[in-house]
Amino acid sequence: MTPVALAWDVRLESGSEVLPEKLQVRHQILCAEEKPNPPKASVQVTAEPAEPVSFPKVVYIVELPETQYRLKRPLAVFLEQGEEGWLASRDDLGICCYGADIDEALSNFALALLDDYDAYASAGIDELTEGARKLAAQLREVIERL
């Protein structure tokens, strides 16, 4: 038997009025079997999940497809398998690309990354919004043009 602490309030009544400012709390320890409202739980265990579960895989891009650019450090990319192929994405960079296989998805991701770098890195600070400036700074931390 596991003791369980319960608390409830006892309000003093004056006539028909309840006086909440004189709230009193009493504690009583009951065994688990004596709980006034025991929790109800039902669990159904199956051998396999009803729907396929897909967790993103993390891969690192270490080089870019164009030689005039270089990655300063490996870049983590999240891969998920969908019904029609693979999705390569980075939410913080706002890039999401599909491909029939992993190589195609990563290649499309790398090209989109370079397109974004060219668009944001070449723009003047005055031309960009605050969010775009943050993205440009992130891209400059990862990529450099040779």
pLDDT of 63-117, one tens digit each?
A: 888 889 999 999 999 999 888 899 999 989 999 999 999 999 999 999 999 999 9
pLDDT of residue 105: 92
pLDDT of residue 25: 45
pLDDT of residue 38: 52
- Number of other CB atoms surrounding residue 96 within 10 Å: 15
Q: How far apart, in whole angstroms, are the C-alpha atoms of residue 141 and residue 103?
A: 24
Tokens of 122: 């070449």
Stronger pLDDT, 3 or 137, i.e. the higher one = 137
The answer for residues whose C-beta is within 8 angstroms of residue 7's C-beta and 6 or more apart is 25, 26, 27
Residue with tokens 């190589």: 103
pLDDT of residue 73: 92
Does the pLDDT of residue 4 top 50, yes or no?
no
pLDDT of residue 3: 45
Across all residues in the chain, what is the average pLDDT?
Answer: 74
Overall average pLDDT of the 1-24 stretch: 44
pLDDT of residue 37: 57
Does the pLDDT of residue 32 top 90, yes or no?
no
Contact 128, 136 (CB under 8 A): yes
pLDDT of residue 10: 43
